[in-house]
Amino acid sequence: MGDNADVEYERFADIYSVWTSTAPSARANRSFYVDAYRAADGLICELGVGDGRIAVDAASQGCAIVGVDNSPAMLALCRERAERAGVSSLMTLLEADFRTFQLPSPAGLIALPYHSIGHLRSMDEKRAAVRQIHAQLRSGGTFVFDDFVMTPARLERMRQVQLRSEYTSPSGHEVLLWVTSLVNEQDQSMRVVTWEDELDTDGVLLSRRYRKLSLSWLEPAQSRQLLEDAGFVIDTCYGEFDRTPFDASSASEQIWIAHKAA
């Protein structure tokens, strides 16, 4: 990520658990990735490990995970989650960029879940990351990642103002979390805008805090080209996390599985 993207992502840390727990794709992808980690042979690396919601779950089932993230705040949350789960010994956390990370040994599996390739805004950045992932895999190693499928219905939904969650602040006040997105279809980019309204007992606004996050997305043909240009052999693409084969007319996700040729 660039400097601005790094700062934006860092500011999401204190609401990240709420953000992911209220996202349908985050609920759906956890078991998919945990199953992939459990079936992996060799070193397992999760890029964009965030607060560890997937990696710590997998570690709790016996997987040793290297988690990579460039946000110190997110890595601190991941470390705390691992400690609470009693799996710190199975987690190695690295503060690094997707495009330049270095693993202690070649990986058997590298995963990039939860549309996180979208934190890299340009095609050049994405290309550099996929090439680095290829370089950090052992021969025969697997790369798995997912991204949005941007349908007209999804774009319309993202542009709407939505009440994402309602919860209680540490000070005991009601908080409403809202979200909307400014979408640029031509550039395949979006500016996600969230705000928290903290209310008193009479429903009067006490404070409001905004957060913004810049993301982008790939068309399926672009994803395929990125993988092939980096030297990957594509195994399959799913359209849902239940492993439904990809169909452009009905898919809500693009979930790619590829390997580094022996």
Give the predicted TM-score (pTM) of the model.
0.95
Per-residue tokens: 167: 């919860």
Structure confidence by residue, pLDDT tens digits, 82-93: 999 999 999 999
Question: For position 26, what pLDDT does the model report?
Answer: 82
Q: Are residues 131 and 230 in the same domain?
A: yes
Could you tell me if 22 and 96 lie in one domain? yes
pLDDT at 199: 98
Please name the residues in contact with 178: beta carbons below 8 A apart, sequence gap of 6 or more.
Answer: 161, 162, 163, 164, 194, 195, 196, 197
Please tell me the distance from the alpha carbon of residue 191 to that of residue 214, in angstroms, as a whole number.
5
* pLDDT reported for residue 5: 65
The predicted pLDDT at position 262 comes to: 84
Predicted confidence at residue 2, as pLDDT, reads: 46
207 and 82 within one domain: no
Residue closest to 47 by CA, chosen among 68, 26, 73: 68
Same domain? For 12 and 123 the reply is yes
- Looking up residue 88, the CATH number of its domain turns out to be 3.40.50.150
Specify whether 182 is located in the same domain as 54: no
Task: Let me know whether 192 and 230 are in one domain.
Answer: no
- pLDDT value for 24: 79
What radius of gyration, in Å, describes the C-alpha atoms of the chain? 18
Structure confidence at residue 27 (pLDDT): 80
Query: What are the tokens at 145?
Result: 């990642």
pLDDT at position 143, please?
98
> How many structural domains does the chain have?
2
How many Cβ atoms from other residues are within 10 Å of residue 237's Cβ?
20
The answer to whether residues 226 and 244 belong to one domain is yes
Long-range contacts of range 157-164, CB-CB < 8 Å, 24 or more positions apart?
A: 158/183, 158/190, 159/183, 164/18, 164/19, 164/22, 164/194
Q: Are residues 63 and 126 in the same domain?
A: yes
Give yes or no: residues 126 and 189 share one domain.
no
Residues 57 and 162 in one domain: no
Domain with 203 in it: 152-216
| Model confidence pLDDT, tens digit, residues 66-119 | 999 999 999 999 999 999 999 999 999 999 999 999 999 999 999 999 999 999
Domain match, 140 and 168 both: no
Q: What secondary structure, in 3-state letters, does the chain show?
A: CCHHHHHHHHHCHHHHHHHHHCCHHHHHHHHHHHHHHHHCCCCEEEECCCCCCCHHHHHHCCCCEEEEECCHHHHHHHHHHHHHHCCHHHEEEEECCCCCCCCCCCEEEEEECCCHHHHCCCHHHHHHHHHHHHHHEEEEEEEEEEEECCCHHHHHHHHCCEEEEEEECCCCCEEEEEEEEEEECCCCEEEEEEEEEEECCCCCEEEEEEEEEEEECCCHHHHHHHHHHCCEEEEEEECCCCCCECCCCCCCEEEEEEEECC
> Which ranges of the chain have pLDDT less than 50?
2
